[in-house]
């Protein structure tokens, strides 16, 4: 009887977990062609020093473990191929695509691979998580221009464990990292260019701190007190206050991106009503939008001000894909406010208006209602990079402007910047 039981147990383990005993391996070089790294040739406008990518993983050859569907047995998954070289090429090609090439410069860029991990946490899916630190340093001052932790995370359903599932999840995670590097590269090129195309007000420069005190708008994205606004609203502030129905709440900057003009604030207060970003990242040309904010606060009144318009273009000046153009009127103080679509989802953050006086000087025409907002996907990527949670929604029904105004009122707040 004992021998029969032993045979039965052996067969059971073989059927349920045999595949997990087989060592698996992911060869980075074999799937590199599936990663969306730019391959075209681009004209280089700026130069930068790119240092080799460093591999900081404790064991670069150990990718993780896999388990059988009943979690009874485990087996290691190895990683071979040159991941550091793939990341290195990803960075160089994306920066080159943005007009930045290798050369002598005051700036140096370097990446460090911090983590590559896979596991089978459930009976029917595997996950892959990759983590890369990308930094740009001014060699003259040895200060970081940016220092970002970029994470790629993918979950893939499996019917039977095998290399193909791990490969697909790995490629998905790498493409997420590639997209975030592309955003950093483009924003760096724009910052280097200092074109001054976008402005925070009719007579200022976007992201340029004004002297004295100022105000802007923000909105809650988390019940833990996180708020999104523009970087130029809170740049160089000695003290930041969020004005709530219960008075002033002291806020602190927890993350900022001057190139894309985004900042995240935090107050030590639990929040009831929060905004939801549109889950579908597509901007709809011609869709009605409502802007909520506190323009010219004190002059126009203390309460929320709303204005409506349409998405006039799905890109900004010069076909800048980070922005949408909106016809909803905005004024100084609207910066950082939510752009709400016809279903109540946030699709962008108000960032700037066209410099009407400068345009009139060169064209002889006064442009009307040419305003810009940072697209929601840019904001979500910023929050993902900094590990800040937010809510997404796919609301099915169109709601009235009045309903949207009430919704915006529930999560939009004025922000006061004290620079003196």
Indicate whether 11 belongs to any domain.
no
186 shares its domain with 253:
no
Indicate whether 88 belongs to any domain.
yes
Domain boundary among the residues 127, 162, 193 is at 193
347 shares its domain with 224:
yes
Indicate whether 5 belongs to any domain.
no
- The two tokens of residue 156 are 């893939």
Residue ranges of the chain with per-residue pLDDT less than 70: 1-23, 66-73, 121-124, 157-163, 193-212, 297-302, 317-318, 352-369
Indicate whether 77 belongs to any domain.
yes
Q: Which domain holds residue 103?
A: 19-193
221 shares its domain with 253:
yes
State the Cα–Cα distance between residues 26 and 62, nearest whole angstrom.
10
CATH, residue 397: 2.40.10.120
189 shares its domain with 222:
no
- 84 within 8 A of 57, measured Cβ to Cβ: no
Report the pLDDT value the prediction gives residue 349, as an integer from 0 to 100: 93
300 shares its domain with 360:
yes
Q: How many domains does the structure of the chain reveal?
A: 2
Question: What is the model's pTM?
Answer: 0.51
Q: How does DSSP assign 124-191, residue by residue?
A: SEEEEEEEEEEEEEETTTTEEEEEEEEEEEEEEE-SS--HHHHHHHHHHHHHHHHHHHHHHHHHHHHH
Task: Tell me how far CA of residue 139 lies from CA of 49, 144, 229, 376, in angstroms.
Answer: 10, 9, 30, 33
220 shares its domain with 96:
no
Indicate whether 14 belongs to any domain.
no
240 shares its domain with 372:
yes
143 shares its domain with 27:
yes
pLDDT tens-place string over residues 10-52: 454 444 444 444 557 889 999 998 898 887 777 788 889 999 9
259 shares its domain with 123:
no
State the Cα–Cα distance between residues 193 and 359, nearest whole angstrom.
19
DSSP state of 253: E
Indicate whether 257 belongs to any domain.
yes
171 shares its domain with 273:
no
State the Cα–Cα distance between residues 346 and 339, nearest whole angstrom.
6
Q: Could you tell me which residues come within 8 angstroms of residue 255 by beta carbon, excluding any fewer than 6 positions away?
A: 263, 264, 382, 386, 388
Domain boundary among the residues 193, 224, 256 is at 193
Indicate whether 202 belongs to any domain.
no
Report the pLDDT value the prediction gives residue 323, as an integer from 0 to 100: 86
Three-state SS at 25: strand
State the Cα–Cα distance between residues 208 and 198, nearest whole angstrom.
11
CATH, residue 86: 3.40.50.10610
- 168 within 8 A of 180, measured Cβ to Cβ: no
231 shares its domain with 153:
no
158 shares its domain with 225:
no
Indicate whether 9 belongs to any domain.
no
């Amino acid at each position: 009887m004992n021998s029969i039981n032993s045979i039965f147990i052996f067969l059971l383990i073989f059927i349920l977990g045999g595949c997990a005993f087989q060592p698996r391996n992911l060869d980075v070089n074999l799937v590199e062609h599936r990663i969306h790294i730019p391959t075209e040739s681009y004209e280089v406008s700026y130069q930068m020093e790119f240092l080799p990518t460093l591999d900081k993983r404790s064991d670069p050859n150990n990718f993780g473990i896999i388990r059988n569907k009943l979690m009874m047995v485990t087996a290691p998954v190895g990683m071979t191929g040159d991941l550091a070289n793939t990341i290195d090429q990803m960075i160089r090609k994306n920066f080159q695509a943005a007009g930045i090439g290798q050369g002598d410069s005051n700036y140096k860029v370097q990446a460090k691979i911090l983590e590559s991990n896979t596991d089978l946490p459930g009976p029917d899916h595997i996950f892959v998580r990759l983590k890369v630190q990308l930094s740009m340093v001014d060699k003259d001052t040895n200060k970081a221009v940016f220092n970002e932790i970029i994470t790629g995370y993918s979950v893939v359903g499996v019917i039977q464990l095998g290399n193909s599932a791990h490969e697909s999840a790995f490629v998905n995670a790498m493409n997420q990292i590639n997209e975030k590097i592309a955003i950093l590269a483009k924003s760096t090129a724009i910052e280097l260019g200092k074109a001054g195309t976008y402005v925070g007000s009719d007579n200022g420069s976007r992201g340029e701190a004004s002297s004295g005190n100022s105000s802007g708008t923000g909105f809650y994205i988390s019940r833990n007190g996180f708020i999104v606004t523009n970087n130029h609203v809170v740049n160089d502030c000695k003290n930041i206050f969020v004005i709530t129905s219960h008075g002033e709440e002291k806020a602190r900057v927890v993350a900022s991106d001057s190139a894309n003009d985004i900042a995240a604030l935090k107050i030590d207060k639990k929040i009831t009503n929060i905004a939801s970003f549109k889950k579908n990242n597509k901007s709809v040309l011609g869709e009605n939008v409502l802007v909520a904010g506190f323009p010219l606060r004190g002059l126009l009144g203390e309460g929320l001000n709303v204005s409506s318009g349409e998405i006039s273009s799905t890109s900004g000046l010069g076909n800048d894909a980070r922005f949408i153009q909106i016809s909803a009127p905005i004024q100084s103080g609207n910066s950082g406010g939510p752009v709400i679509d016809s279903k109540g989802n946030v699709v962008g953050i108000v960032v700037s208006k066209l410099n009407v006086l400068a345009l009139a000087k060169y064209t002889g025409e006064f442009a009307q209602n040419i305003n810009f907002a940072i697209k929601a996907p840019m904001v979500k990527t910023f929050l993902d990079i900094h590990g800040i949670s937010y809510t997404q929604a796919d609301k099915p029904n169109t709601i009235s402007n009045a309903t949207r105004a009430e919704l915006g009122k529930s999560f939009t707040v004025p922000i006061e910047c004290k620079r003196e």
